[in-house]
């Protein structure tokens, strides 16, 4: 067999079954002509070694390497939702936290309920209906669906009163004229309804006047309260010791009101508070300031007299005769 038959093509790998003896039995020529020393041979040998190492790798080492997509070694995703934090609210922006949104919904519900209550109260006040009358009407309306007999028992006196006010029930006087033949029944009802209309108009005007008077009283009281608040706010800004004077001012206000001195206008409120403030301010004694500690006297030390000449620790140095002696003495020589 010739040397060309033993040559391995460049695109083929070296057989892994080749033993040490076979490799050693090759001639130098064959070894020189083998592509194992070439670039392609180096790559093929490297791939064989890698395959062998991967197959013989220990199972625990394989398990230790993080698998693709596993939790270990994976950086957290910025878009991944955080666990809910109801204590420090760090999982989401505070205004987007479920608890914050729940509080907002509760607040909106309370606001809606308060708004409905104000509407009902305003309606009752504008029409002069008391809380007891409103409760009776609601009770009659509820009983009309479940117990009509009881509803009529409660509503009958009210219905009779309304019919009399509307002129639909003849008064004893008109009924006597009808029975005496002075008026027909139809004419009596016309007179009764006309009188009821006039009385209703007068009652409406009186009610509106009373309502306007009530509004004026409420507004005057609100203006008086506002004047007192403004006066207090102004004094707080101007007097640094005002907090210590509030209690005696309130006692003086209560005392004067017991005597009947009740202001009826914002100007009267400010005048009264100014007068009370002067009285309280005159009797007010600011707390005495703590005396400043006396300065501590500076420590005095006895004057020291410099020592010239003499000797230190019993040693006597000769007087230097030259610069060399000075240097030696400085060096301890």
- Would you say residue 56 has pLDDT above 80? no
pLDDT grade, residue 273 (50/70/90)? very high
Q: Partners of 3 in the beta sheet?
A: none
pTM: 0.43
Burial class from Cβ neighbours inside 10 Å (0-12, 13-18, 19+) for residue 215 reads: exposed
Scanning the structure block, which residue is given the tokens 């000797």? 311
Q: Which residue has the higher pLDDT, 103 or 261?
A: 261
- Which of 36, 31, 30 minimizes the C-alpha distance to 13? 36
Say if CB 72 and CB 45 are below 8 A apart. no
pLDDT of residue 251: 92
Q: First CA to last CA across the chain, in angstroms? A: 100
The most confident of the ranges 54-58, 74-78, 124-128, 161-165 is 161-165
Q: CA-CA distances (angstroms) from residue 325 to 208, 241, 328?
A: 124, 80, 5
pLDDT of residue 322: 62
List Cβ neighbours of 160 (8 Å cut-off, separation of 6 or more). Answer: 169
In total, the chain counts a number of residues equal to: 333
Degrees (nearest 5) of the Cα angle 106, 111, 116? 125
Q: What is the band of 308 on the pLDDT scale with cuts at 50, 70, 90?
A: low
Per-residue pLDDT at 1 exceeds 60: no
Q: What is the mean pLDDT of residues 164-176?
A: 91
Q: What is the pLDDT of residue 103?
A: 80
Of the pLDDT bands very low, low, confident and very high (cuts 50, 70, 90), residue 8 is very low
Tell me the percentage of the chain whose pLDDT exceeds 90.
34
pLDDT class of 78 with cuts at 50, 70, 90 = low
Give backbone dihedrals phi and psi of 302, rounded to 5 degrees, phi first.
-65, 145
Predicted pLDDT of residue 34? 46
């Amino acid at each position: 067999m010739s040397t060309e038959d033993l040559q391995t093509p460049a695109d083929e790998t070296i057989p892994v079954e080749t033993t040490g003896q076979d490799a050693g039995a090759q001639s130098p020529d064959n070894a020189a002509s083998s592509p194992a020393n070439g670039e392609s041979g180096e790559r093929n040998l490297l791939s064989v070694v890698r395959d062998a190492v991967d197959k013989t790798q220990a199972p625990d080492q394989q398990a230790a390497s993080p698998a693709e997509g596993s939790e270990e070694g994976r950086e957290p995703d910025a878009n991944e939702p955080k666990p809910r934090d109801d204590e420090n609210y760090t999982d989401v922006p505070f205004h987007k936290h479920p608890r914050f949104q729940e509080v907002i919904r509760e607040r909106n519900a309370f606001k809606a309920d308060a708004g409905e209550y104000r509407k009902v109260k305003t309606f009752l006040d504008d029409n002069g209906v008391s809380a007891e009358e409103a409760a009776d009407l609601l009770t009659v309306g509820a009983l009309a669906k479940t117990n009509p007999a009881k509803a009529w028992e409660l509503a009958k006196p009210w219905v009779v009163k309304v019919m009399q006010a509307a002129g639909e029930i003849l008064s004893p006087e008109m009924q006597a004229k009808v029975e005496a033949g002075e008026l027909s029944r139809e004419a009596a009802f016309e007179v009764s309804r006309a009188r009821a209309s006039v009385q209703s108009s007068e009652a409406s005007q009186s009610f509106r006047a009373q309502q306007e008077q009530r509004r004026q009283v409420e507004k005057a009281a609100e203006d008086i309260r506002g004047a007192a608040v403004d006066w207090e706010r102004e004094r707080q800004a101007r007097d640094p010791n005002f907090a210590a004077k509030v209690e005696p001012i309130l006692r003086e206000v209560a005392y004067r009101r017991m005597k009947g001195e009740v202001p009826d206008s914002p100007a009267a409120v400010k005048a009264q508070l100014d007068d009370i403030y002067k009285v309280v301010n005159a009797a007010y004694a600011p707390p005495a300031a703590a005396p400043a500690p006396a300065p501590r006297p500076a420590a005095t030390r006895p004057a020291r007299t410099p020592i010239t000449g003499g000797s230190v620790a019993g040693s006597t140095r000769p007087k230097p005769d030259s610069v060399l002696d000075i240097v030696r003495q400085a060096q301890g020589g």
